[in-house]
């Protein structure tokens, strides 16, 4: 995107375009870290529920599924759903931010 | 059969012995043969970036999961290391040239860290397969890895433009102090030592009994590790897209998992997201926090990166020694007491890392 902006930008607009490029790089760092943290927390919630339920605790020992799997109650299902939402909302947030930056760049052109 | 592997045959072959790494590199080479390969290479670059985020960074952080006061892996020494590194880190914000020096030292230290880890895993596989490692074999194994390490260091210290001139958006100092022939001589010596090491393992009949050979996967892992430094430069640029994450990082995560699965089962089960969370806090959160105190974000990023990496290197060199009983108990619990007692004596003093 940076190349497209540089290629199509008028010389008078170069300063503003450069600022935008820096802003984009900073945004990427921030958005990526938030996204990664959300993925990690979501994954952690799901794995904790699975572990506590003793569903596949044996995976931690020998990568085999146990036959005496406990059933998930509504709270567990809700926790897994929340974890899943957290994991997917990270990439969704990145997509939205990228889209907004692109929209801003288009308007600038 | 299962006793000769660290986790399981599939896991070991893919993540420890370099199976996944060679698979990705094979795909990379295949993509290059296509006429229009930009899309395939972009996809592989994304895989490489994801590996950096999810495996490479997490492996550095996962050292903290191994530290335990019970097995004396968390000692005064490890705390002292952290304090010293913290002091160096703070100094970096007052001495402008220091971050670049730290980055250069990091690049020089990398081959030692990579090769020491694979040497340790090679010895571990030999231990698990009941392969006796004599002093001569151990000497040649150490010589091979050390010569390869010195070769790579010599390359970085010979011609400034041969190695990376910029790292983490920081210009590296020019330490081209060695003449060209040093690197060439070390390269030749490295290949010679590999040959000697292979010959030292030849099954020679002694007293009517044939000596056992190390497992094939152990050899594959060792050779992969050596090739990461000994292949021609034009190949290395592509190889190093995948090696830190899908060979070294995955290897380490598997080892940490194998080490703590009995003592800390919950952490072992949730290790990856936990390490990812810590990695984000350390590698992204900390530089951003420091940058609030009018320190450039790039400098903060470089300093935090180096300090955490050095802590990882130094701590690992201590906590993974095969001669330590807790390490043997965690990683070689299936082997008999007699072998446990005999083999570490043969491996005396060798670093697992």
Per-residue pLDDT at A7 exceeds 80: no
Q: Are B133 and B346 in contact (CB under 8 A)?
A: yes
B270, two tokens: 């949730």
All residue ranges of chain B with pLDDT < 50 are 1, 335-353
Residue linked to tokens 């194998």:
B258
Residue linked to tokens 């009983």:
B325
* B8 close to A (CB below 8 A): yes
Number of H helices, E strands in chain B: 19, 4
Helices (H), A12-73: 14-52, 59-62
How many interchain CB pairs under 8 A, A with B? Answer: 58
Q: What is the pLDDT of residue B249?
A: 93
Q: What is the pLDDT of residue B332?
A: 77
pLDDT confidence bin for A21, thresholds 50/70/90: very low
Closest among B204, B217, B218 to B136, alpha carbons compared = B204
Q: What angle do CA B344, B245, B73 make, to 5 degrees?
A: 40
* % residues pLDDT > 70 (chain A): 52
Per-residue pLDDT at A76 exceeds 90: no
Residue A21 or residue A50, greater confidence: A50
Per-residue pLDDT at A23 exceeds 80: no
* Cβ within 8 Å, pair B277-A41: yes
Chain A residues closer than 8 Å to B268 by CB: 60
* Cβ within 8 Å, pair A60-B265: yes
Which of A40, A50, A52, A54 to mutate against chain B (most B CBs within 10 Å)? A40
* Cβ within 8 Å, pair B273-A43: yes
Chain A residues closer than 8 Å to B265 by CB: 57, 60-61
* A66 close to B (CB below 8 A): no
Nearest CA in chain B to A49: B270
* B284 close to A (CB below 8 A): yes
Out of B8, B270, B288, closest to residue A47 by CB: B270
Which of B15, B280, B305, B330 to mutate against chain A (most A CBs within 10 Å)? B280
Chain B residues closer than 8 Å to A59 by CB: 269
Residue linked to tokens 């005396």:
B348
* B258 close to A (CB below 8 A): no
Mean pLDDT of chain B: 84
The Cα of A107 is separated from the nearest Cα of chain B by a number of Å equal to 28
- How large is the ipTM? 0.76
Which of A1, A22, A32, A37 to mutate against chain B (most B CBs within 10 Å)? A37
Out of B261, B285, B297, closest to residue A33 by CB: B285
* Cβ within 8 Å, pair A29-B274: no
DSSP string covering B181-217? HHHHHHHHHHHHHHHHHHHHTS--EETTEEPPPPPHH
Per-residue pLDDT at A41 exceeds 60: yes
pLDDT in tens, A47-65: 888 887 765 555 545 544 4
* B49 close to A (CB below 8 A): no
How far, in whole angstroms, is CA B320 from its chain's centroid? 12
Q: Are B308 and B106 in contact (CB under 8 A)?
A: no
């Amino acid at each position: 995107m940076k190349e497209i902006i540089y290629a199509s930008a008028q010389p008078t607009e170069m300063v503003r375009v450069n600022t935008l490029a820096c802003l984009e790089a900073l945004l990427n760092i921030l958005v990526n870290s938030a996204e990664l943290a959300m993925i990690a927390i979501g994954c952690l919630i799901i794995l904790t529920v699975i572990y506590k339920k003793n569903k596949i605790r044996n995976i931690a020992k020998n990568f085999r599924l146990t036959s005496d799997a406990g059933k998930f109650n509504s709270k567990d299902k809700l926790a897994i759903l929340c974890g899943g939402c957290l994991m997917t909302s990270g990439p969704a947030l990145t997509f939205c931010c990228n889209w907004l930056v692109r929209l801003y760049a288009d308007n600038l052109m | 059969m299962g006793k000769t592997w660290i986790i399981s045959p599939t896991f070991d072959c893919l993540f420890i012995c370099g199976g996944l790494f060679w698979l990705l590199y094979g795909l990379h080479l295949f993509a290059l043969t296509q006429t229009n390969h930009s899309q395939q290479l972009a996809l592989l670059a994304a895989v490489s970036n994801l590996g950096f985020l999810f495996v490479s960074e997490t492996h550095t952080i996962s050292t903290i999961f191994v530290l335990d006061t019970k097995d004396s892996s968390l000692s005064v020494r490890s705390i002292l290391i952290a304090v010293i590194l913290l002091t160096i880190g703070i100094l970096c914000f007052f001495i402008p040239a220091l971050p670049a020096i730290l980055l250069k030292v990091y690049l020089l230290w990398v081959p030692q860290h990579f090769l020491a880890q694979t040497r340790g895993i090679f010895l571990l596989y030999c231990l698990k397969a009941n392969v006796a490692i004599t002093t001569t074999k151990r000497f040649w194994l150490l010589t091979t890895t050390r010569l390869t390490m010195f070769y790579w260091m010599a390359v970085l210290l010979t011609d400034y433009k041969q190695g990376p001139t910029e790292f983490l958006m920081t210009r590296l100092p020019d330490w081209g102090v060695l003449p060209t022939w040093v690197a060439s001589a070390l390269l030749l010596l490295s290949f010679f030592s590999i040959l000697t090491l292979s010959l030292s393992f030849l099954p020679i009949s002694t007293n009517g009994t044939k000596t056992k050979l190390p497992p094939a996967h152990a050899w594959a892992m060792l050779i992969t590790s050596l090739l990461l430094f000994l292949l021609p430069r034009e190949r290395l640029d592509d190889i190093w897209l995948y090696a830190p994450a899908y060979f070294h990082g995955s290897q380490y995560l598997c080892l940490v998992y194998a080490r703590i699965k009995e003592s800390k089962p919950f952490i072992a089960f949730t290790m990856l997201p936990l390490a990812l969370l810590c990695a984000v806090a350390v590698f992204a959160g900390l530089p951003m926090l420091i940058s609030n105190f009018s320190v450039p974000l790039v400098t903060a990023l470089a300093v935090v990166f180096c300090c955490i990496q050095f802590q990882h290197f130094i701590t690992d060199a201590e906590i993974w020694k095969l001669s330590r009983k807790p390490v043997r108990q965690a990683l070689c619990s299936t082997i008999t007491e007699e072998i446990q007692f005999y083999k570490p004596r043969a491996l005396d003093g060798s670093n697992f890392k």
